[in-house]
A and B are shown apart, each in its own frame.
Chain A
Amino acid sequence: MSPILEVDDLRVRFTTQDGVVSAVDGVSFDLAAGEVLAIVGESGSGKSVTAQTVLGLTRAPNATIEGAVRFGGKDLTALDDRELQSIRGEHIAMVFQDPMTSLNPVYRVGDQITEMIRAHRDVSRAEARDRAIELLRTVGIPNPERRVRDYPHEFSGGMRQRVMIAMALSLEPEVLIADEPTTALDVTIQAQILRLLADLNAERGLAVVLITHDLGVVAEVADRVLVMYAGQVVEDASVDDIFYDPQHPYTWGLFGSLTPLDAPQHSRLPQIGGAPPSLLSLPPGCRFAPRCPHAFEKCSQAPSLETRAATGHLDRCWLEPAQKSTLREVDGRIGLRQVVSL
C-alpha cells in the first residue's frame, strides 16, 4: 500500500538562551492508510514535537524546521498557515493528552463541535448540530441529544477525551494523530478509549499515529512501532518484531523497566541507569552509549538507522544481531543487564 503520510528526515531545532535544542534529529517514517503507528519514548525524546511538527504546530520564531512532511502530494512544512488550516482537522486531526484543558470551558461541547464543522463545511447550524450528536453517539457518549448542551466541566475525563475524539473525527480525516490520548485516564477508561480507536481504525480505515510511553498500549493497538531516544528513532519495526525480537538496548531497557502483571514480585527491576542526555549537548557517538552496559569502542561513532537483523526491522546499534538474543536476556525476560563497572 502506498503511504498517505510521509515524514522524511525531519529535524526540529529550537534556539534558546542556553543554546540550540535539537528536539528532533532526522526522523523518517511512512504511514499507510489504515495503519496504526506507535511512537514510543520518554519525556524529551522528541515524539510529541515530531507529531506537532506534522501539523505545523511547532512553528515559532526560534524554531528551525528541516526535512519534509508529505501528504496528498504536498510538503506540509512548506505550506503557509492558511493552506495548513485546510489540512488540519479536514485531513489530519489531532487529539491531545490532557482532556481537561483542551476544551474551551465557557462553550457548550456541542457548540465547539459545530463551530469546527461550520468552519470547514457549508452546512446549516441545525445540520451541524445533528452531525455533532451523531459523532458523540459514535464515540460512545450516552444521551448525546442532551449532552451536546452540556459544558466541558459536566463531563468526566474519559468523556471529555471522547468529545475530543468526536471533534477530531468531525471532518472525517484520513489521519488521526493521538498524543498520549489515555495517559491522564484510569485504566478502565483507557481500555474503553483504546477499543474506540481500534474500532474506528477497523471500520473507517482511519490511519493513526499514536504517541505513548506505555508499551502495554502499544501491544494492544499498534501495527508498527518507532522507538525514539534523544530526538532520534533508534528502532523501527513491526509490533511483533519490537516485542519478540527487539534490537536496540534502549528498547530492552524499556521492557526491563516494566512491571507486568505476571512478573516476579519484589525482584530488582533491570533498570536503565542514569538519565537521558541533554538535548543541548548530545554525546558525539551513539546517544545511548553513556547509559548502555553493552557499549564498546565502536559506539563512539554514531550508528545509522538501518536494517541489521531482518527486513523491515531498522535499528541504530553497533552490536552484532547474533549476540543480542543472549545480551538482552535478564532473569528469563528482556531487560538491560546491569554491568558492574570497574
Chain B
Amino acid sequence: MSTGEPLLEVTDLVKHFPIKAGAIIEREVGRVRAVDGVSLTLREGETLGLVGESGCGKSTLCRLILQLMAPTSGSVRFQGEELVGRSRRDLRPIRRHIQMVFQDPYASLNPRKRIGQIIGDPIELHGLASGAEVKRQVQDLLDRVGLQAEHYNRFPHEFSGGQRQRIGIARALALRPKLIIADEPVSALDVSVQAQIINLLEDLQDEFGLSYLFVAHDLGVVRHVSDRVAVMYLGKIVETASATELYDKPFHPYSTALLSAVPIPDPRRNAARERLILEGDVPSPIDPPSGCRFHTRCRWATEICSAEEPDMIERERAHLAACHHPRNVEAATHGAGNI
C-alpha cells in the first residue's frame, strides 16, 4: 500500500507530432496532439491505473515518462529529479529504477537471444553483478516469476504467450526498479493466463514494494489492481479518483460511458442495467474539438462545453474531474463548477 511520498510527478506534459508536407522543402501542416497537457503523480508503493480508448495517448505518455521520446514541453520528475532534457548518459542511472513491461510478449523479446541473456544483460550493463553471480540472479528471477531455472538457455519461441510475459516481467525486475510501467501487460493473453499474470504482478508488488503505472483498456483489470485510476481522453486526463470512487461514482460522462460499455459477465444483471452507449468514434487528435474535447459525443453537452475548456476541479477529496456538468455530484458543488 502507498506510503505517500511522490515517486513520480508529471506536470503539464505535452507531446505534439508534427505532420509534414512538401517533397523538398518540408513544412509543418498540422500537429497530432497525442499528449496535450497531462499531469499526474504516483506515490511509492501505489498502483495508478490509466484507462482510455485506443489513440487517446496512453502509450505515448508511457514513453514520455521513460524519456524514450522527448516531450514537446512539460516536466517529469522522478524522486524529485527532473528527467526532461537530460542526456542519455545522465538518464542511465535513473532508468534502472523505471522499467517497462510491454503489451506484446511476442514482439518484445529478441528472438535470437537466450532467456539468460535477455534477463542477464541489463544486470551486467548496469554493473549490478558479473560472472556467475549474474546467472544466479537470473535463475532466482526465473523462479520468482514462476518459470524454471532450466529455462536459462532457451529461446523465446520455445515459450507460450503467458510464459513470455513472465520473462518480460523478470527482465523488468532484474534491475530492482522502484517503478514499473506496464503498458497493457495482459491484454494479449487468454483470460486464465491474465489471472495468473495479475496475481504475479500483485505478489511482486508486495514483495519488492514496487509502484506500478498500469495502462489498460480493460476496466475490470484496472480496477482490480489499481489504488487510483486516471481516465484519459484525446490526450488529456479527464478524471482521477480512487479506484472504488471512480467505479462507484464517476463524475465525468466519459468515465460513465466507458464503464457502461463493459459487458457484465452476468446475463440477468447485464440485461437489467441502464447503459449509456457512446455514438461515433474518438475525434481526430489532429484537430480536437474546441472546449471540452468530449462534447461532440456527450449527452449532457451545452453551449459552454464547446466554448470553454473545463479545468480539473477537485470536487471531492482526491477525486478530480474536468467537466462542466459532472454526474453524481451534490447540487451545491455542481453549481460551483459551472461559474
Q: Which of A's residues lie within 8 Å of B, judged by CB?
A: 42-43, 142, 156-159, 186-192, 194-195, 213-220, 239-240, 243, 253-261, 263, 265-273, 275
Contact = CB atoms under 8 A, between A and B. Distances in A.
Nearest to B146: A273
B277 A186 contact: no
Interface in B167-225: 190-196, 198-199, 202, 217-221, 223-225
Interface in B209-259: 217-221, 223-226, 243-244, 247, 257-259
Nearest to B277: A191
Contact of B263 (A214, A265, A271): A214
6 contacts: A43-B161, A191-B275, A219-B265, A259-B223, A259-B224, A261-B220
B195 A219 contact: no
Interface residues of B, number: 48
B310 interface: no
Contacts of A240: 267-268
B224 A216 contact: no
Contacts of A220: 263-264, 267, 270
A213 B218 CA distance: 14
Nearest to A182: B263
Nearest to A264: B224
Contact of A272 (B192, B198, B217, B270): B192
B278 interface: yes
Nearest to A186: B53
B330 interface: no
Contacts of B223: 259, 261, 265
B224 A266 contact: yes
B326 interface: no
**6 shortest A-B CB distances, which residue pairs?**
A216-B263, A257-B195, A259-B224, A271-B195, A42-B190, A259-B220
Nearest to B203: A268
B261 interface: yes
Interface of B: 53-54, 160-163, 190-196, 198-199, 202, 217-221, 223-226, 243-244, 247, 257-268, 270, 275, 277-282
B227 to A, nearest CB: 9
B328 to A, nearest CB: 16
Given A259-B221, A269-B199, A271-B196, A188 B261 contact: yes
A187 B190 contact: no
Contacts, number: 134
Contacts of B192: 42, 253-254, 257, 271-272
Q: Which of B198, B224, B257 has the most CB of A within 10 A?
A: B224
A265 B224 contact: yes
Contact of B265 (A43, A191, A192, A260): A260
Nearest to A238: B267
B184 to A, nearest CB: 12
B265 A187 contact: no
Contacts of A195: 277
A261 B282 CA distance: 24
B257 A186 contact: no
Given A191-B261, A258-B265, A213 B275 contact: no
B267 A259 contact: no
Given A258-B220, A259-B220, A260-B220, A268 B199 contact: yes
Given A159-B281, A220-B270, 20 more contacts: A43-B190, A156-B282, A187-B53, A188-B53, A188-B278, A189-B281, A191-B260, A216-B263, A219-B265, A219-B267, A239-B267, A243-B266, A257-B191, A261-B219, A261-B247, A263-B224, A265-B223, A265-B224, A267-B224, A271-B195
B261 A190 contact: yes
A158 B217 contact: no
A86 B76 CA distance: 61
A73 to B, nearest CB: 34
A269 B192 CA distance: 10
Contacts of B267: 219-220, 239-240, 243
A264 to B, nearest CB: 9
Nearest to B56: A186
A217 B257 contact: no
Contact of B195 (A159, A217, A256): A256
Nearest to A250: B192
A109 B219 CA distance: 33
Nearest to B191: A257
Contacts of B265: 215-216, 218-219, 243, 255, 258, 260
Contacts of A159: 281
Contacts of A218: 265
B70 to A, nearest CB: 28
Q: Which of A157, A194, A265 has the most CB of B within 10 A?
A: A265
A265 B140 CA distance: 29
B54 A186 contact: yes
B258 A219 contact: no
B137 to A, nearest CB: 26
A156 B55 CA distance: 11
Contacts of A273: 196
Contacts of A272: 192, 195-196
Contacts of B226: 265
Contacts of A254: 191-192
Given A239-B267, A243-B266, A263 B191 contact: no
A28 B6 CA distance: 58
Contacts of A157: 54
Given A216-B265, A240-B267, A258-B265, A187 B219 contact: yes
Contact of A187 (B161, B163, B217): B217
A109 to B, nearest CB: 16
A194 B263 contact: yes
B277 A268 contact: no
B194 A261 contact: no
Contact of A260 (B198, B264, B282): B264
Given A187-B219, A243-B266, A213 B259 contact: no
Contacts of B198: 259, 269
Contacts of A253: 192
Given A218-B265, A259-B220, A261-B259, A158 B281 contact: yes
